[in-house]
Structure 1
Amino acid sequence: MKAAKFYKAKDFRMEEVSAPAVKPGHAVVNVEWIGICGSDIHEYVAGPLNAVPGTIMGHEFSGVVAEVGEGVTNVKVGDRVACINLDVCGECKYCKAGQRNLCAKMGIDGYGLLGFTADGAFAEQVLLEAENCIKIPETLSLEHAAMVEPGAVTLHAVNKSRLTEGKTAAVFGAGPIGLLLVIMAKAKKASQIIVIDVAEDRLEMAKKLGATTVINPMKENAVESIKELTDGGVDVAFEAAGVQPTFSAATKCLAKNGELMIVALYEKEVSLFPLDLTMGEAIISNSFCYSEEFPEVIDIYASNIVDLDLLITKKIMLDDLVEEGFETNLNDKTHIKILVTPKQSNL
Structure 2
Amino acid sequence: MKAARFHGQKDLRVEDIPEPGTRPGTVKIAVAWCGICGTDLHEFLEGPIFIPHPGHPHPLAGEDLPVTMGHEFSGVVEELGEGITGLAVGDAVVVEPYFVCDACGPCKAGNYNLCTRMGFIGLAGGGGGLSEKIVVDARWVHPVGDLPLDEAALIEPLSVAYHAVSRAGLTAGDVAVVGGAGPIGLLTAAVLKGLGITTILTELSSARKEKARSSGVADHVLDPSQEDVTKRVLELTDGAGADAAFECAGVNAVLDAMLDVVRPGGVVVNVSIWGRPATVDMQKIVLKEIDLRGTIAYRGDHAPAIRLVQDGKVDLKPFITGRIALEDLVDEGFDTLINHNDTAVKIIVHP
Distance 2:108 2:25 in 1: 18
Structure 1 residues 204-263: Cα deviation after superposition (integer angstroms, max 9, x where no partner): 221233211111111112122222222231110000001111011111111011011000
Q: Give the structure 2 partner of residue 69 of structure 1.
A: 81
Shift of 1:30: 0.5
What is the TM-score with the length of structure 2 in the denominator? 0.93
One-letter amino acid matched to 2:205: A
Gapped runs of 5+ residues in structure 2?
Answer: 53-64
Q: Name stretches of at least 5 consecutive residues in structure 1 with no aligned partner.
A: 107-111, 343-347
**Amino acid of the residue matched to residue 288 of structure 2?**
G
* Partner amino acid, structure 2, of 1:206: A
**2:56 matched residue in structure 1:** none
**Is the partner of 2:343 in helix, strand or coil?**
coil
Per-residue displacement from partner, 1:118-140 (whole Å, max 9, x unpaired)?
121110001110111111111x1
Question: Which position in structure 1 is the counterpart of 2:203?
Answer: 197
Which residue matches 1:185?
192
Shift of residue 288, structure 1, vs aligned partner? 0.3
Distance 1:39 1:205 in 2: 22
Amino acid at match of 1:283: D
Q: Say yes or no: does 1:26 pair with 2:26.
A: yes
1:180-217 CA-partner distances (Å, limit 9, x unpaired): 00111012211x21100101221222123321111111
Report the Cα distance in structure 1 between the residues aligned to 2:279 and 2:87, rounded to whole angstroms: 48
Given that 1:168 and 1:193 are in contact with CA atoms closer than 8 Å, whether structure 2 keeps it comes out as: yes
Alignment match, 2:150 = 143
Distance in 2 between the 1:277 and 1:254 partners?
A: 10
Contact (CA 8 Å) 1:27, 1:67: kept in 2 or not? yes
Partner of 2:59: none
Query: Aligned to 2:162, what secondary structure does the other structure show?
Result: helix
- Aligned equivalents of 2:85, 2:336: Cα separation in 1: 41
2:338 to 330, 335, 340: 330
Question: By how many angstroms is 1:322 displaced?
Answer: 0.5
1:11-50 matches, within 5 Å, as: 11-50=11-50
**Could you list the per-position Cα deviations for residues 141-192 of structure 1 after superposition, in whole angstroms to 9, with x for gaps in the alignment?**
11111111000000001111122111110000000000000111012211x2
CA distance in 2, matches of 1:306, 1:74: 26
Q: Does 1:340 align with 2:345?
A: no
> How large is the Cα RMSD of the aligned pairs?
1.2
Tell me which residue corresponds to 1:163. 170
Give the secondary structure class of the aligned counterpart of 1:195.
Answer: strand
Tell me the residue number matched to 1:109: none
Separation in 1, partners of 2:144, 2:75: 10
Aligned to 2:258: 250
- Counterpart-to-counterpart distance in 2, 1:28 and 1:88: 19
Map 1:208-287 → 2, pairs under 5 A: 208-230=215-237, 231-287=239-295
> Following the alignment from structure 1 to structure 2, what is the Cα–Cα distance between the partners of residues 297 and 319?
31
AA aligned to 2:44 is Y
Query: Following the alignment from structure 1 to structure 2, what is the Cα–Cα distance between the partners of residues 306 and 125?
Result: 28
Identical amino acids, percent of aligned pairs? 38
Secondary structure at the residue paired with 2:18?
A: coil
- Once the 2 structures are TM-superposed, how far is the Cα of residue 283 of structure 1 from its aligned partner? 1.1
Maintained 8 Å contact 2:194/2:314: no
Deviating beyond 6 angstroms after TM superposition, the runs of 4 or more aligned structure 1 residues are none
Following the alignment from structure 2 to structure 1, what is the Cα–Cα distance between the partners of residues 211 and 102?
A: 39
Whether the 8 Å CA contact 1:74–1:131 is kept in 2: the answer is no
Measure the CA separation in 2 of the matches of 1:234 and 1:9. 41
Check whether the contact 1:179–1:209 (CA below 8 A) recurs between aligned residues.
no
Other-structure match for 1:345:
none
Contact 1:6 1:56 in 2 (8 A): yes
Determine if the alignment matches structure 1 residue 78 to structure 2 residue 90. yes
1:306 positional shift? 4.1
Q: TM-score, normalised by structure 1?
A: 0.94
Whether 1:105 and 2:117 are equivalent positions in the alignment is: yes
For 1:199, give the aligned amino acid: S
Amino acid aligned to 1:29: I
Q: Match for 1:166: what amino acid?
A: G
